[in-house]
Amino acid sequence: MFSKYIDNSIDENDAFMSMDEILTNILNFEEWRMVETDPFTQQPLKYEITKVYDENQEIEIKGTEFTFNYIKYSYDTVISGQETNPISVERLKTTSGAIVIYTDGIRTQYLVDRARGAAALRILRVINNSDKNKIIEAQSFNITEDFFIWLISRFMDGNRIIDEENSLSISRIIGFRGEGSQKQAVLSGSGNEVMNLLSSLSFLIEMEVMTEIEVRILCGSETFEIRLYSINSQLDILVENFVGEYMMLPSEEKNPRILLNAFIDIIPSIMNAYNEEVDNGNWTRNSKREFTLGLVDSVKEKLDLLYPSQNIDS
């Protein structure tokens, strides 16, 4: 899971703090952090923050230059009620991971390796020494069940181009899930067409609420796999399945570049295409019903071709 946050910190001139100022504060934690101790051993608790790149990196996305760095963090906290437990793994909790920090030169944002919510916000507040409300705020996409149906219908109808200018298209619906059904359907552009129709039709009829979809997106010569959830509009970028320019780089170089492209370009482009179709009236409340009925007709059509009725003379 990954989530996106924006930093609202301001300096003494009431201007938003630059990324370098924010990074300096994060890395100079010895100047502001009160050392916490393990109540059992009386030793300082682990607290480690490092940046991967000595010098900030640059990347161009959608014609805009972004500056970024990659932060690794690891720190221990005492588990409530376990203060006197002699077993350290039961007494202490280690929180660790990596964060992409980036800016377009105006605002600084974070891509956190946690789902959007309390855990991600707590990590950002810990490393920033910030306990004030609204200093760091989540930036979310509005992912709905209707959006999922729209994606599936675009794929099934063969209208897979999302953004022609950026050569963005749906390659495959890898899977989707819904409450009320234990099935996971898979749609492949090169698979058995009848089975794809039957699996998607039965799924749409049986499920009560669609909760998750995993989609493979082509962007030029690159391939991204993204899992989207309707619950809390959560996102997961499957960085290990990326195919393209960065795939042979070490993970510390590859991962932030994949995440930046996904959050700045791929996901907003998909959401924009959906919203435009809703605003233009091309995707309405009746669209799901019409799509499902269209699947029924397609199934009947294909089955008639496979098993044509025979007229037998009496």
Any idea what DSSP says for residue 294? H
DSSP codes of every residue in 151-195: HHHHHHTT--EEETTTTEEEEEEEEEEEETEEEEEEE-TTS-HHH
Q: Say if residue 176's pLDDT is above 90.
A: no
Check whether 314 has a pLDDT greater than 50: no
Angle between helices 267-279 and 145-156 (to 10 degrees): 90
pLDDT of 282 higher than 80: yes
Confidence of residue 299 (pLDDT cuts 50, 70, 90): low
Cβ–Cβ < 8 Å for 174, 214: yes
> Is residue 101 within 8 Å of residue 108, measured between CB atoms?
yes
Of 288, 297, 295, give the one whose Cα is nearest residue 202: 295
Query: What's the mean pLDDT when you consider all of the chain?
Result: 87
Q: Which residue, among 219, 212, 233, has the nearest Cα to 152 in the 3D structure?
A: 212
306: confidence class by pLDDT, cuts 50, 70, 90:
low
The reported pLDDT for the residue numbered 46 is 97
| Range list of H helices, 113-266 | 118-128, 145-156, 193-206, 251-261
Helix (H, G, I), strand (E, B) or coil at 277: helix
Residues 120-153 pLDDT 10s: 999 999 999 988 788 999 999 999 888 988 998 8
| Local structure of 212: helix, strand or coil | strand
User: pLDDT at position 157, please?
Assistant: 79
pLDDT at 138: 95
pLDDT band at 188, cuts 50/70/90?
A: very low
> To 10 degrees, what angle do helices 193-206 and 287-306 make?
140
β-strand partners of 173: 187, 215
User: According to the model, what pLDDT value does residue 248 have?
Assistant: 94
Q: Enter the tokens of residue 308.
A: 């044509």
* 263: number of Cβ within 10 Å: 22
Of the two residues 307 and 230, the one the predictor is more confident about is 230
Per-residue pLDDT band for 228 (boundaries 50, 70, 90) equals: very high
At 36, give phi and psi (nearest 5°).
-100, 145
Dihedral, 277, 280, 285, 287 alpha carbons, nearest 10:
-60
Residue 269 has pLDDT above 90, yes or no: yes
**Contacting residues for 148 by C-beta, under 8 A, at least 6 apart:** 176, 210, 213, 228, 230
Higher pLDDT, 173 or 239: 239
pLDDT band for 23, please (50, 70, 90 cuts).
very high
